[in-house]
Amino acid sequence: MKLNIAILPGDGVGPEVIAEAEKVLNSVGEKFKHDLAIEKGLIGGDSIDKMGTALPEETVKLCQTSDAVLFGAVGGPKWDSASAKVRPEDGILAIRKQLGLFANIRPVKAYKSLIHSSPLKSDLLTGVDMVIVRELTGGLYFSKPKKRWANKNGRQGVDTLRYSEKEIVRIMRVAFELALKRKCKVTSVDKFNVLETGRLWREIANEVGSQYPQVQLEHMLVDNAAMQLVRNPANFDVIVSENTFGDILSDEAAVLTGSMGMLPSASLSGVIAESTFTSKASLYEPIHGSAPDIQGKGIANPIAAILSMAMMLRYSFGLLDEASIVESAVEEVLYEGYRTADLVTDDSPVLSTSVMGDYISNKVKLL
């Protein structure tokens, strides 16, 4: 099978972890005799420095003509000036819009071998295996007006939280379809008590939920959801929320896995068909960001990027066996006690970014 893949390494540790994901991908290609057609593009701060824009038209065209996009991270202190007219983050926001990527899927799994890497008590982590479904192209990050200004009363700023019925319905369908293939439970997160968008969100969640009688639907205010994520995480199956809440909750969920370096994600534009998404040019990325403080030190955890690549194999190409082998390789390497610096709590061997990639890549070949 020919796999046409665009790779956008980006900034910070993005190129480092994506290099390891590509290494493991090459092992998958060799093992299963797939033809990998890989082309790289610019995005974020690296693109600003070279092209004067966070997202060149060439990168947009590359992504639009690829079957999937593997993305690293953007951002860093070099481009953090409050007065900057172009920011690295503009690139990832723009590509999501360009590709119509409205659904962000973030699996959260507590590996048995990493339970002691989490600050939570181990008994709370037993059975934790959830998916956070975050609406990705609406809400505070995109709605207008969005501006800053100054007058006699001083500096001011405004962001707008707006959602349409269509946006909520489509993200709810993704959540319910996912739940059908899991434990048949959806937790819809909102701020029903104070926000009009929250009341609309809950109303539509109930309407869509009525079409899935097999799935249990519960509603939870976002502040309670934040507490329950650390108090009773095994109670969740599929969490669905609007953009900002989903961003915050999924980052909080990193504490369950022991490190943000363990959390992959997929940004999709299609709907579920059987066990895959029918989605052109979906984007796959680790959620940890650019981590500029450890850039170039060789200590970044590449597992989130590698697991994101496994999600790409599953959702964009329907390669279920290949995706499962990558995930099994990760689990076995962790079970054998190998760790990057972010996961070490005892005398376990500490691997560099590239050596962890080597271990997982070699494990794929053996499975």
CA distance linking residue 162 with residue 168, whole number of Å: 11
Cα angle: 232, vertex 138, 194; to 5 degrees: 60
> Which residues share a beta bridge with 272?
277
> Which residues share a beta bridge with 133?
105, 240
> Which residues share a beta bridge with 8?
71
Rounded to 5 degrees, φ, ψ at 61 are -65, -40
Helices (H), 36-78: 44-51, 57-64
Helices (H), 218-352: 222-231, 243-252, 254-257, 303-315, 320-335
Say which residue the tokens 């989903």 belong to: 246
Say which residue the tokens 């690295």 belong to: 88
Helix (H) or strand (E) holding 107: strand 103-109
> So which residues are the catalytic ones?
141, 191, 223, 247, 251
Helices (H), 211-281: 222-231, 243-252, 254-257
CA distance linking residue 290 with residue 295, whole number of Å: 8
3-state helix, strand, coil in the chain (%, to 5): 45, 20, 35
- 160 CB-near residues (< 8 Å, 6+ apart): 140, 143, 144, 145, 146
DSSP string covering 162-179? ---HHHHHHHHHHHHHHH
Burial label for 332, CB within 10 Å (0-12, 13-18, 19+), is middle
Say which residue the tokens 């999501």 belong to: 96
